[in-house]
A and B are shown apart, each in its own frame.
Chain A
Amino acid sequence: MSQPEGKVSGALEVKFVPDEAVLSHIADDAGIKVRKDKAQLAVSVKRFAKKLENISDDEAQEILAEENYVAALGTCAQDPVGNGSGVSGGEVYSFQTPKCSSKMAELASELAQTPGQSVAADHFKCPEKTAKTPQSSKRSGSNKVQQRSKKKEFLSTTPYRLRKRLAAPDSCLESESEYSASCSEEDDEEDQKEVSTVLSGQKTPAKATAAATSPPRNALAKKIKEEKMSSLVEEYFEAHSSSKVLTSNRTLQKLQTRRLNQKTLHDLLKKAPLAYAAEMKKLSQQHESLFSKWMLQLHLGFNIILYGLGSKRDLLEKFRTSVLQDSAHLVVNGYFPSITVRSILNSITEEVLDHIGSFRSPLGQLEFIHKRFKEDASLELYVLIHNLDSQMLRGERSQQILAQLSSLPGVYLIASIDHINAPLMWDQAKLRLYNWLWYETTTFNPYVEETSYENSLLGQQSGSLALSSLTHVLRSLTLNARGIFRLLARYQLENKDNTSYPGLSFQDFYQQCREAFLVNSDLTLRAQLTEFRDHKLIRTKRGADGVEYLFIPVDDSTLTDFLEKEDEDV
């Protein structure tokens, strides 16, 4: 822990933070941030209120308080690395994505500017926090002074809950002051604990930080763990109690640096060093020792599912190369954006079972596979699915088919999941078919392959749209907009054999949309088309006769799959 350093070196010495970052953040955030991003602030304030129980609200002690921030920051920055349980509920439930993405952008640009300097990713969180906290503390401090000017004797013994409440910038402050008195009587036990720390804090502030942060955690670890859930719940309700939706107006467009394309971004990220290579290697070796166990359990009729932090692709790949060398196996890359269940079934029937011909429906195909496996007991097939919970495979029908496939006697399935809500995919009926054995395989490996297909905000997009991004974009549109796009897609598929097909002219398209009651005027359709163009869903071309022609720059098979999937949903 870094409290000793904080104490010795004084208020302004921060070790791992580049100065210019701090300065820039103080400059741009100072005034605006406090007022605007109330929700975000609430989270951070709460967190710090927890850590710094002992901050007194006297104006005179503010310097001391600032000193503690640095110390507390040290603990805070180390927390996520040291023990995962330190993550507070605010981080889980609040919307922090815009902040995150901007941070990533900063990281990338920083790396681009100074390639030699090796700044670890997690340290980068610090400057923003240092910049923000002094203000937040001042705010909460002044709040307290306002609130409790009449009852000074409570100053040092205010209960934690009350302080948290006061620290949160709530809109109805009047009502709070009504019940504050009753509250303070209620949580006696909490009071006791805090009184002791606060008292010691009065004497030696720097030491008190240590007392407030680490020792109670060790001593009362059990209790805290018990209360963690309830506090998470409370924080959820606190965060959702205000109906105001806060949207940050800091967009990537405001970023001064140019946008990188996918490749340079990839290369830059590759240069970032891996922090705990040796430990991670040990971890993966530990997982590899389970391989023979997995094999046994697969043969006993179970299927293996791997969960945990980090990419499990390498582990499965290792499993494949070391164990499944001599047996028929099928590797399914679920993260691949254009994968469908039909393609999985096709590769089984065509390549494993050597069947030539097409099937009417996936169910018929499944029936055929079932029959073949029933007839021939010697058939064995190992199916490895990276990311069973990917965008393309998470649908109800896909999971049903995969579950039925996995329940066949000759088929052994080993899969990995990453989504936090992945178990929502399976109800009891599907779980019975899958017969999972859950293995936690936390590898901490970066998701390199898995995220390489995602259109990240950072990079510029390249090439034509994949099926998953097509559905992703269209899902956020209105029903009418989807209808318009579907109309165009249908028309394009009807004309796919026609090589001289120029696209659909705007007038014709307008006519068709009118007939289907999708638009009411020329302008609405134009606005809609502009939106499509922004998302690169359509492209326009001016024909020889000066008429605008519209077409979708996506290959026909993807478009067919898309329409099929849409029809399934609707």
Chain B
Amino acid sequence: MPNLEHPAYPAATLLHLESLVPCRESQVSLLLSIFGERQQFSLPSIFIYGHTSSGKTYVMQTLLNTLQLPHVFVNCVEYFSSRLLLEEILIQLQSYSSKIEQSSHVPCDSLNDFVGLFKQVVASQELQDQTLYIVLDRAEQLREMEANILPAFLRLQELTDRNVTVVLLSEIVWELFRPSIGCFEPFTLYFPDYSIGHLQKILSQNHPPEYSADFYAAYINILLGVFYMVCRDLKELQHLAVLNFSKYCEPVVRGEANERDTRKLWKNIEPHLKKAMQTVYLREISSSQWESFQRGSGEPGQLKGLSAHTHVELPYYSKFLLIAAYLASYNPVRTDKRFFLKHHGKIRKTNFMKKQEKTSNHLLGPKPFPLDRLLAILYSIVDNRVPPTANIFSQITSLVTLQLLSMVGHNDQLDGPQYKCTVSLDFIRAIARTVNFDIIKYLYDFL
């Protein structure tokens, strides 16, 4: 018994459609009823939103393709300027109307031209008496274009006086789209997230042919048990399922367990999946590395991730400059005297500092500091005499270029520039270790 019913389309097509879009029956049936029959006028614009990988693009595409409705599908990220976008729509439309041979490239500079050219193209026989759908994927990019683009697309039916429906697909809500001067309100439709049951159903749908469906479903079950807490993204889960399946099958292949031995299989795969969460899921190591490691059966901990390569070779003075910048960023100015003067006397932490300075500076992030302070700290932490040469200065600027420091304000580059240190504590500790400098002793937070 098919859930989808529509008088305009044959039941077989609808049944096929239903099998293609699992767990989205209600949305598809709503869309079908909105679309109506071909010659009927539909809504001028539909706005579909939902979370990442909730099947917006896929459902729309399969729906339009299976029902063989005339449509144009454009990704707004790909066609980032209004001119490119409008021309792309026209080019795709031309392929529908076979009469105009894949003719010359039609320049379309403005929206005005577009409306004229659009009317011309749609006037052809094939497109005349049916609804034309223009689907704009990643529609949030439209807001970056000229101010008139979005309102014009929402009113395209009215402007062109043709049977056209514009569908906007986006991950953000409609309220963030609305222009300040108002516009034609589209019909908004929400695609809800897949539940764990939905995910299980979709993921176990296409199991590998050499194994039974139950075997694969059990695998998906374990996978979701590990990953559902951190990830509900269908695409990610699919990718992880593909990557780790060979490891799951290993005991069966080796003959140590049969397909029914779920407990043994679970014991085998569970630590492996936990490791995968820390490495492949965070893209610390690439998928191909992971696969080759599974084949070679090495220890996954031996693979060095991207974040392990935090060590950067720097020149001697650059290291000290970076250390000085870190100290300047994370120490309150009032404590400078205490750390960098030799005979500062005893200043207690508690009654010396203001209240807000007592909270950890590392939690609040780096504070900007002037160039003078950086140099003063540098001279004080380097044991021998540092001449303030052009090289030292250009090393400061080079550190900014390398994004180890960042300039604050951009007011003036030479008169009193302010900097911030953007490296982490681990990084600076590693650097301080190479020059035998005990940075923890100089940090106010660790007193």
What residues of chain A have their CB less than 8 Å away from a CB belonging to chain B? 93, 161, 175-176, 178-179, 183, 186, 226, 229-230, 232-234, 236-238, 240-241, 243, 389, 394-396, 419, 421-429, 431, 438, 475, 569
Contacts and interface: CB of A to CB of B under 8 A. Distances in A.
B414 A419 contact: yes
23 contacts: A93-B372, A178-B345, A230-B379, A232-B376, A233-B380, A234-B341, A237-B337, A237-B380, A240-B373, A241-B337, A243-B333, A396-B413, A419-B414, A419-B415, A421-B417, A423-B389, A423-B391, A423-B397, A424-B413, A424-B417, A427-B397, A427-B401, A431-B394
B346 interface: yes
Given A176-B345, A237-B341, A429 B373 contact: no
Given A179-B343, A237-B380, A431-B394, 20 more contacts: A176-B345, A179-B345, A229-B379, A229-B386, A232-B376, A232-B379, A238-B341, A241-B336, A421-B417, A422-B393, A422-B414, A424-B397, A424-B413, A426-B394, A426-B397, A427-B400, A427-B401, A428-B401, A429-B401, A569-B410
Contacts of B364: none
B147 interface: no
A240 B158 CA distance: 68
A394 B389 CA distance: 19
Contacts of A438: 390
A89 to B, nearest CB: 10
B337 A161 contact: no
Nearest to A92: B372
B172 interface: no
B146 interface: no
Interface residues of B, number: 38
A243 B335 CA distance: 11
Given A179-B345, A232-B379, A424 B385 contact: no
Interface string B389-418: 111111111101100000000111111010
A176 B343 CA distance: 11
A569 B410 CA distance: 7
Given A178-B345, A421-B371, A236 B385 contact: no
B35 interface: no
B345 A175 contact: yes
B352 to A, nearest CB: 10
A93 B370 CA distance: 13
B419 to A, nearest CB: 10
B334 interface: yes
Given A424-B394, A427-B398, A186 B372 contact: no
Contacts of B410: 569
A192 to B, nearest CB: 18
- Please report whether the interface of chain A is mostly helix, strand, loop or mixed according to DSSP: helix
Contacts of A428: 394-395, 398, 401
Contacts, number: 97
Contacts of A429: 398, 401
**Of B343, B346, B373, most A-chain CB atoms within 10 Å:** B343
B336 A229 contact: no
A202 to B, nearest CB: 27
B393 A421 contact: yes
A233 B396 contact: no
Contacts of B411: 475
B172 to A, nearest CB: 22
B340 interface: yes
Most chain B C-beta atoms within 10 Å of own C-beta, residue among A186, A241, A423, A569: A423
A184 to B, nearest CB: 10
Nearest to A396: B413
A186 B343 contact: yes
A425 B343 contact: no
Contacts of A240: 333, 336, 373
Contacts of A226: 385
Nearest to B412: A475
Contacts of B397: 423-427
Interface in B307-347: 333-334, 336-337, 340-343, 345-347
A425 B414 contact: yes
A282 B346 CA distance: 55
A174 to B, nearest CB: 11
Nearest to A428: B398
Contacts of B373: 236, 240
Nearest to A226: B385
A161 B343 CA distance: 9
A223 B181 CA distance: 74
B379 to A, nearest CB: 5
Contacts of A389: 414
Nearest to A183: B343
Q: Considering residues B347, B389, B397, B417, which has the most beta carbons from chain A within 10 angstroms of its beta carbon? A: B397
B414 A421 contact: yes
